[in-house]
Chains A and B, each alone.
Chain A
Amino acid sequence: MREVTLNLTSHQSLTVANDALTSINYMVEGDSNLTIIAPKRTKGSIFLTINGNGNLNLRVSIESDSNWSMLIMNQSDLQLNINESFSLQRYASLQLAIGELSLGTHVKNSVYHLLEEGAVLNVRGASLIQSKLTASYSALHYKGNTSAQIDNYSIVLKGCEYTLDIIGNIHKAAKGAKTHQISRVMNFDEKPKTSVNPKLIIDENDVEASHAASVGQPDLNQVYYLQSRGLSRSESLKLITLGYLLPIIEVIDDENIKERLSLEITKKVSESCLM
C-alpha cells in the first residue's frame, strides 16, 4: 500500500486517496478545523497524529461502501479540547483505534453518526492517563442494521483524573441495530479519581445493546506470578499495563501502523511511573 504523508495545521479539508495509507501530522493552533473525507467505494488507512494547544473540530466522513482503518494518536502534552464527529454512510465500515498516551490535559467529545443502513463501527481506545482526561463517546444509530462496538481500556496513574461517558443511542426506525460497549479502567492510585458512566438509550425494538464496565486496581496475583519468575514489581506492572493497552493494535489491519502504535505504547509505558 502506498503512503502519503501530510503536515497540516489550522483549517483544512482533505479527501483521502483510495488504497493508500494517509499519514497526517496535525498541529492544533488556537481554534482549528480538520475535515477528512473517505469517498464512496474506497478503502485504506489513515494515521492521524495530533499535537498542539487549543480547540480542534475534527470531522470524518466515511462514505458509502467504503472500508477504512484509522488510528488517532493524541500526542499533545498541552491543554487540548477535541470535538470529533464521525459520519458513516450506507455500508461504510470504520475500524478506529484511539491512543491517548500523552501528558496533556484533554477534553474530548466524540460522536459517531451511523447514518445509513449497514454502517459498521469498531472503536478500540487505549489510554494512559498521566494528567487529566474527560472523554465522551456516543454512538448514534439512525438506521437499521447498523453496528457499533466501542471498547476502551485505560490506565490511570497516581494523582491523575479520568471521566468517561459512553453512550449507545438507538433511534426510532433503527431496527436490527447493535450497540455494544466495553470500558475497563485500571487505577494505580489507591484513592482514584475515576468515573465511568455507561449509558444505553434505546428507542426501537428488535435491537442488541450491552455495556460492560469495570474499574479496579492491578491484580496482585498477577504481579506475584510475574515476580516469581524474576521480574521486579515495576517490570511486572509495566508488562501488565502493556498487556492491557497493546491489544488495541488488533483493530488495525495495516502492519505499518500496527508496528508504530505498538512502539509508541511501549515507549510511553516505559517512560511512565507506575509505582
Chain B
Amino acid sequence: MSQLKIENLHVEIEGKEILRGVSLEVNSHEIHAIMGPNGNGKSTLLSAIMGHPKYEITQGTVTFDGEDLLSKGVDERARAGLFLGMQYPQEVSGVTNSDFLKAALNSRRETPIPLFSFIRLMEKAIGELQMKSDMAHRYVNDGFSGGEKKRNEILQMMLLQPKIAMLDEIDSGLDVDALKVVANVVNDMVAKSDVGMMIVSHYERFFHLIIPTHTHILIDGRIVMSSDASLVNRIDTEGYDWIAKETGVNIIKEDTVRPVVGSIGACAANEPRGPKNA
C-alpha cells in the first residue's frame, strides 16, 4: 500500500507564487479528481510533485510512503513509483518508443528485461489501448497526433506500473471513443493493482467514465473544497462561480497569471531541488 502526502505546499514560478498551501493525501486504490478553472494551479501541483526544475518549492513537505520526496531528483521520484502523464508530452526524435520504454523499465530492474518478455508486455498494452502496431518503432511522440501522444502516456503508465499515478489533462486531444478506451484501462489498473491516482481535468465528462473517490477544487493555489464524486456533477451543471461565492476566494483568470512554462532553459537541470528554505 502506498501513500503520497502533501502538506502546506507553496510553489513559485519565476518569483510568482502559484500554490499557496496545498495539503492532500492520496492512498492506494483512491482516485482523486483535481478540478478547477484554468490557470489556478492544477498542473503546477502535479509538475511540482514530479520535480520539474522550473517550479520552486518555497514551503511545505511532500512524502511518499513516509520518505521525503522533495530531496529526490526527478528520476529517483519516478523509480520510487511516481508517474506523471503529461499534458504536453515531449517529442524525442531519433529515439524509438520501444528503446525508450525498455530503458525506463530497465532503470527499475537489477537485470535487463528479456527481449521476449518486453515485446509481449508492450504488444499487450498496445492492443488494450487500441494503438497502431507500429507505435513501438516510431520515435517518441514525434509526428504523433494529440490523441496518440496521450495514449502513449497511458501506455508508459501501464508498462511502468507506478504506485501513484498523476494524469494531467490526459483526456484533452482524445475523441469520445479514445476517451472510453483510456478510461477502461485506467479503471482496470486501479481495480487490479494498488495504484492511487490524481487526475487533473477540467472536463467533467472524464469523471463520468472514471468515478473519483475524492474530488478537490483548486482555486487561486488552494484546495477550497473537497468532497466525493457528487461534486463533479454539481460543477457539471453549475460551474465554479458558486464555489467562489461560498468560499470567498477569487478565481484567477488564465490570461492574468504567470508566464507559461514552455522551456526549462539550459541551466535548469543543475538547479537544486527541494524546498527553498530547507
Contact = CB atoms under 8 A, between A and B. Distances in A.
B94 A230 contact: no
B99 interface: yes
Please name the 7 residue pairs, one residue from A and one from B, whose CB atoms are nearest each other, closest first: A243-B94, A225-B90, A243-B95, A230-B107, A229-B104, A230-B78, A227-B74
6 contacts: A220-B53, A222-B91, A224-B90, A239-B95, A239-B100, A243-B93
Interface stretch (B123-131, B238-246, B258-266): B258-266
Nearest to B84: A228
Given A230-B108, A231-B104, A239-B100, A224 B74 contact: yes
A222 B103 contact: no
Given A220-B266, A239-B103, A242-B94, 6 more contacts: A228-B50, A230-B75, A230-B107, A232-B107, A240-B95, A243-B94
Contacts of B249: none
Contacts of B84: 228
A227 B79 CA distance: 9
A206 interface: no
A244 B75 contact: no
B160 A230 contact: yes
**Size range of the chain B interface in the assembly:** 35 or more
B214 interface: no
A244 B95 CA distance: 8
A245 B94 CA distance: 8
A33 B69 CA distance: 62
Given A230-B79, A239-B103, A224 B264 contact: yes
Interface of A: 190, 217, 220-233, 235-236, 239-240, 242-247
Contacts of A242: 94-95, 99
Interface of B: 50-53, 73-75, 77-79, 83-84, 86, 89-95, 99-100, 103-104, 107-108, 139, 156, 160, 263-266, 268-269
B78 A229 contact: yes
Most buried by B among A226, A228, A243: A228
A228 B78 contact: yes
A233 B95 contact: no
**Prevailing SS type, chain A contact patch:** helix
B103 A224 contact: no
B104 A220 contact: no
Nearest to A246: B94
B103 A235 contact: yes
Given A243-B95, A243-B139, A221 B108 contact: no
Contacts of B51: 228
Contacts of B52: 224
Nearest to A234: B75
A247 B96 CA distance: 11
Given A217-B266, A239-B99, A240-B92, A228 B74 contact: yes
Contacts of A247: 94
A234 to B, nearest CB: 10
Contact of A229 (B91, B160, B268): B160
Nearest to A225: B90
Contact of A226 (B100, B264, B266): B100
Given A239-B95, A239-B100, A247-B94, A220 B75 contact: no
A126 to B, nearest CB: 11
A217 B84 CA distance: 25
Contacts of A228: 50-51, 74-75, 77-78, 83-84, 86
A17 to B, nearest CB: 33
A227 B270 CA distance: 13
Given A242-B94, A244-B94, A227 B73 contact: yes
Contact of A220 (B50, B160, B269): B269
Given A229-B100, A235-B103, A242-B95, A221 B263 contact: yes
Contacts of A223: 264, 269
B94 to A, nearest CB: 3
Given A190-B266, A220-B265, A231 B75 contact: yes
Nearest to B81: A230
A23 B99 CA distance: 29
Contacts of A245: 94
A235 to B, nearest CB: 6
A186 to B, nearest CB: 11
Most buried by B among A223, A229, A233: A229
Contacts of B99: 239, 242
B53 A224 contact: yes
Nearest to B107: A230
A117 to B, nearest CB: 35
A222 B77 CA distance: 17
Contacts of A217: 266
B90 A232 contact: no
B269 A233 contact: yes
A8 to B, nearest CB: 34
A25 B93 CA distance: 33
